[in-house]
Structure 1
Amino acid sequence: MKKYFLLFLSLGILLVSCKKSDDDLTPPDGLDPDSAEVEVQDFMWKAMNFWYFWQEDVPNLADDKFPNTTDGIADYTEFLSSESDPGAFFDNKLLFTEDRFSFYSDDYRELTQAFAGISKSNGLEFGLVKFSDSDDVFGYVWYIIPNSDAATKDISRGDLFTGVDGQTLNVNNYIELLFGDNDTYTLNMADIANDQITPNDKEVTLTKFEGLVENPVFLSKIFDIGGEKIGYLVYNRFTNEFDEDLNDVFGEFKADGVTNLILDLRYNPGGSVNSARLLSSMVYGTNKDELFLKQRWNSKIQGQLSDSQLTDYFAEKTSDGSSINTLNLSKVYIIATNSSASASELVINGLAPYVDVVHIGETTRGKNEFSLTMVDDFDGSYIYNAERENKINPDNQWAIQPLVGRNENADGFSDYTSGLVPDIELEEDLENLGAWGDPNEPLLARAIQEITGTTGKRGFEVKMPAHIMTNSKMFSVQKDNMFLDKPMQMGNIPQ
């Protein structure tokens, strides 16, 4: 696992190195509550008061909300005690009304492992759809993670299920049945034909196991169609532990003379900002003088960061020092849907000033903020650092993942909270989901048609669109988070 997992060699070093400076980024000391029963809420408030992107817009986080006086401390303690559940306190008392993505975890170890692609899972990734005429819900399989329990069972992409353990799924029970404490459950499968979904007698029993590692580089292929050499990559999450695998795929594309790229991010909810930068460099180029993104923080943080700390340029090497295999493309075809978020959108937006991005699919989720993992480590300015785990308050294992800033592209654009609209709109068809890597799979076929002007498909009519309500990834620990993990050299840090 990389030592700079979230922001370890960037702000993590900056915070420790600069504590003696008048311009440091150390949260203010003092204002300790007079009750030990609220130490989790105390950590949450202090971290959010300093780092939260919308701190100035949340009255409960105002700097003058609780003066450091006897009465102020009493009011502060009472406020922290207003919710006995720290999670409810975070959600109900600290978040800006427009914040859809900040979240918490009662176990920071589980959260940080999840960001490394390690989780407790049965390996089934799926979308959930509500029936139009009732509150019942059905699921359809997106893909199976290799080497998982699901990979050993008779279930595959496009399969549908309407129940769990004999209970029909609905809007009130699907969370408990699919994402509750039960490690093993049995899916009650269904058939689809003529716009109708009908339960059948097939059952599939799945078990979640600890330590499943998902390589997000799911599939790569090279097509030679109509004289065009087309690279195709299905990439399912931005996980920096697999940046070398990603670069290797582009090395294969480059060696085989690929001149067109279809990047499939349809189920990619995001992840590492640096992985997004590296992927974009593999697509476009390695000119370190060309701006990929610029960060925008709250007013407490923004003015204290140098330009080199706020900006990221295209990369010529991976974090492990390998030369980037770039295709130097001026045009790229990206498949993205409503399930594509954060770092997926960052790639589209970051490439847009330089590359003709042809977005095929649906409007994306609209998550344009980045976050940090924060734990109860005041001397580390609450930023999680794997090398400081022994400094974390042993009585408080909670973590928060608040949104702390936005990434603007080279044109200064970051306003896509409503999502990025496709150039070519095409939804997935539940009756014709298609097989991964098959040139007749509808979204892939539409991208190939755009490149070559010809296709094996006669049309792209969607008989039963997959209007998803939510998906399995939204119930994973990491959800659709975009986190900073940018390494920085000590010379860039003001002393």
Structure 2
Amino acid sequence: TTFTVLRNGQEEEVNITPNAYTFHVAQGKVIQQDNKNIGYLRYDSFTSTSVNELEQAFTQFKQANISDLIIDLRYNGGGSIAVASTLLDNISNTHAGERQGYLDWNANYKHKNANFYFSDEVEPNDLNMKRVIFLVTKNSASASELVISALKPYLGVNNVITIGTQTHGKNVGMSGRVYGNNYYFIINFYVRNNAGETTSSHGIAPTCSAEDDISHEFGDTQEKMLSSALYYIQNNRCP
């Protein structure tokens, strides 16, 4: 396929060859620092198809006996609450059967209020992290913010670290309705953690501010947000 593009004020023909590419929604990496193994997870969307990739990443982390965990949610706009619950199970395996959070429906549908829980069964690759660092931006929303919020009652607010910029502030969910030939998704409920807290509509303020550094690839230790997270692990404070 040939496209004509305008480049530097002049038209130029560019040939494009279609091909199939595999995109991984979740990808894990083990970073070594100060004789420690640190788990880094890039996670772009809470889709049901990503669960196997999450399992692979956490198996890698378990085998490496990581001491710290960094989860990169900078471009993760959310998705399935069920998948968010699975990620919480992977992160912390010491709260089996306890409530992660709940859906708080509007006044007309209070009968639909529903809890979601840590799994009763501990999987072999589930971790027992005492602290988690999240890389976030304004594009981190909904289920991403839910995971951050849900961990705070269990790990403590000082052990759930966010690095980057303010998150989006989407603390609500919706269900689909059919009307004629159209399908509507209307906001129906708030998502709350076990303490009854919901993310502010202004988002979650970062523990440490850092730029989204597009001059480096994901997982590059020189990338500014990841570099700030590694500094925090080493020094227990912001750069």
TM-score by length of 2: 0.85
1:410-465 Cα deviation digits (max 9, x unpaired): 111114100000000112246xx3122211111111111111239xxxxx7xxxxx
Match of residue 194, structure 2, among 410, 413, 421: 410
Shift in CA distance, 374/188, structure 1 to aligned 2, threshold 3 Å: farther
Shift in CA distance, 187/369, structure 1 to aligned 2, threshold 3 Å: farther
2:68 match: 260
Q: Provide the aligned C-alpha RMSD in A.
A: 3.1
| 2:199 is aligned with 1:451 | no
For residues 53 and 177 of structure 2, the distance between their equivalents in structure 1, rounded to whole angstroms, comes to 29
For residues 204 and 359 of structure 1, the distance between their equivalents in structure 2, rounded to whole angstroms, comes to 42
Flag structure 2 segments of 5+ consecutive residues without an equivalent.
none
| 2:109 is aligned with 1:301 | yes
| 2:183 is aligned with 1:399 | yes
For residues 243 and 294 of structure 1, the distance between their equivalents in structure 2, rounded to whole angstroms, comes to 21
Computing the radius of gyration from Cα coordinates, the structure with the larger value is 1
| 2:222 is aligned with 1:440 | yes
1:173-200 Cα deviation digits (max 9, x unpaired): xxxxxxxxxxx9777679xxxxxxxx99
Match of residue 282, structure 1, among 78, 86, 90: 90
Flag structure 1 segments of 5+ consecutive residues without an equivalent.
1-183, 191-198, 377-395, 455-459, 461-495
Shift in CA distance, 398/437, structure 1 to aligned 2, threshold 3 Å: same
Shift in CA distance, 400/247, structure 1 to aligned 2, threshold 3 Å: same
How far 1:261 moved relative to its partner? 0.6
For residues 249 and 284 of structure 1, the distance between their equivalents in structure 2, rounded to whole angstroms, comes to 15
For residues 240 and 439 of structure 1, the distance between their equivalents in structure 2, rounded to whole angstroms, comes to 29
Residue 25 of structure 2 contacts residue 53 of structure 2 at CA under 8 Å; is this kept in 1?
no
| 2:118 is aligned with 1:314 | yes
2:25 match: 216
Residue 146 of structure 2 contacts residue 199 of structure 2 at CA under 8 Å; is this kept in 1?
no
For residues 200 and 291 of structure 1, the distance between their equivalents in structure 2, rounded to whole angstroms, comes to 61
Residue 29 of structure 2 contacts residue 57 of structure 2 at CA under 8 Å; is this kept in 1?
no
1:338 match: 138
| Partner SS state of residue 139, structure 2 | coil
Number of matched pairs: 234
1:425 match: 209
How far 1:245 moved relative to its partner? 1.9
Residue 171 of structure 2 contacts residue 199 of structure 2 at CA under 8 Å; is this kept in 1?
yes
For residues 226 and 233 of structure 2, the distance between their equivalents in structure 1, rounded to whole angstroms, comes to 11
For residues 222 and 205 of structure 1, the distance between their equivalents in structure 2, rounded to whole angstroms, comes to 38
| 2:172 is aligned with 1:369 | yes
| Partner SS state of residue 206, structure 2 | coil
For residues 189 and 268 of structure 1, the distance between their equivalents in structure 2, rounded to whole angstroms, comes to 32
Match of residue 241, structure 1, among 49, 73, 77: 49
1:340-396 Cα deviation digits (max 9, x unpaired): 1111111111111112111000000000001112224xxxxxxxxxxxxxxxxxxx4
1:232 match: 40
2:128 match: 328
| Partner SS state of residue 345, structure 1 | helix
Match of residue 357, structure 1, among 160, 164, 184: 160
Amino acid across the alignment from 1:323 = E
For residues 3 and 170 of structure 2, the distance between their equivalents in structure 1, rounded to whole angstroms, comes to 32
For residues 401 and 213 of structure 1, the distance between their equivalents in structure 2, rounded to whole angstroms, comes to 30
1:94-147 Cα deviation digits (max 9, x unpaired): xxxxxxxxxxxxxxxxxxxxxxxxxxxxxxxxxxxxxxxxxxxxxxxxxxxxxx
- Structure scoring higher RCO (CA < 8 A, sep ≥ 6) equals 1
Kindly report which structure 2 residues correspond to 1:177-216, keeping only aligned pairs within 5 A, or say none.
214-216=23-25
Amino acid across the alignment from 1:345 = E
TM-score by length of 1: 0.43
Structure number with the higher strand fraction is: 2
Identical counterparts, % of pairs: 31
For residues 232 and 12 of structure 2, the distance between their equivalents in structure 1, rounded to whole angstroms, comes to 39
How far 1:288 moved relative to its partner? 3.1
